[in-house]
């Protein structure tokens, strides 16, 4: 039912709770199939996406904050990121992309607020909002997709500094590449990023987006 805060979301199957990460990947897959933009699945997904954004003007849940960023799951963030409902980088990038996937216009306040959070909190040194490097390569691939989907080459961050995020992220990935061609998160094993097979896959996906 639409009143259920799980409505429109997607998890790991069965009775697993839905989250912003799983939904964004599913929506990206549906976009690749050229599914009819009028199919009800998009509007159902949008209800869940709205409820993952810390924006009380469009989020009807009591846990909603007002900084424009996103949280992971209804009233829940992973304990590795401090729990609670604070916005953080990976899912804010995923949330922004998801809004665009379901057909929300770039000028819409929901998109603009998510973009403002990402640019104001921009850093490549950690997963923004977490003060950790856990999930850093996953953040890189979501951010790379934002640079492609949103279309702005440069922005000014919360400290007044101008950035070309495509160039900066590409340069960071080249710097982090190992001599054997692989990538690995040397600072955190969270979400298996200490495995070169996974970190390298995220990095190649990132570069593919950045070189478009």
Domain residues of the chain, as ranges? 1-121, 136-212
Kindly report, residue by residue over 7-54, the tens digit of the pLDDT. Answer: 999 999 877 899 999 999 999 999 999 999 999 999 999 999 999 999
Tell me the sheet residues that pair with 53: 70
Coil vs helix vs strand at 136: helix
Strand partners, 73: 76
Assess contact for 179 and 139: CB atoms under 8 A. Answer: no
pLDDT beyond 90 at 2: no
Within 10 angstroms of residue 57's Cβ, the number of other Cβ atoms is: 13
* pLDDT tens-place string over residues 135-165: 999 999 999 999 999 998 999 999 999 999 9
Cα separation, 154 vs 43, in Å, equals 31
Distance separating alpha carbons of residues 19 and 71, to the nearest angstrom: 9
193 and 187 Cβ atoms separated by less than 8 Å: no
pLDDT tier at 1, thresholds 50, 70, 90: confident
Q: How much of the chain, in percent, has pLDDT values that exceed 90?
A: 93
């Amino acid at each position: 039912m639409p009143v259920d805060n799980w409505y429109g979301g997607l998890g790991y199957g069965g009775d697993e709770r839905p989250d912003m990460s799983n939904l964004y990947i599913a929506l990206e897959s549906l976009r690749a199939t050229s599914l009819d933009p009028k199919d009800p699945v998009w509007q159902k997904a949008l209800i869940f996406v709205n409820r993952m954004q810390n924006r009380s003007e469009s989020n009807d849940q009591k846990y909603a904050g007002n900084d424009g960023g996103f949280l992971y799951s209804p009233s829940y963030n992973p304990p590795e990121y401090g729990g609670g409902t604070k916005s953080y980088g990976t899912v804010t990038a995923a949330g922004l992309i998801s809004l665009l996937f379901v057909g929300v216009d770039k000028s819409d306040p929901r998109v603009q607020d998510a973009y403002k959070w990402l640019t104001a909190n921009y850093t490549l040194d950690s997963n923004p909002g977490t003060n950790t490097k856990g999930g850093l390569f996953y953040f890189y691939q979501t951010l790379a997709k934002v640079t492609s989907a949103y279309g702005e080459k440069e922005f000014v961050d919360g400290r007044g500094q101008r950035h070309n995020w495509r160039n900066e992220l590409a340069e960071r990935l080249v710097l982090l590449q190992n001599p054997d061609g692989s990538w690995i998160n040397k600072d955190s094993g969270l979400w298996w990023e200490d495995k070169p097979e996974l970190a390298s896959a995220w990095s190649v996906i990132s570069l593919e987006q950045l070189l478009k």
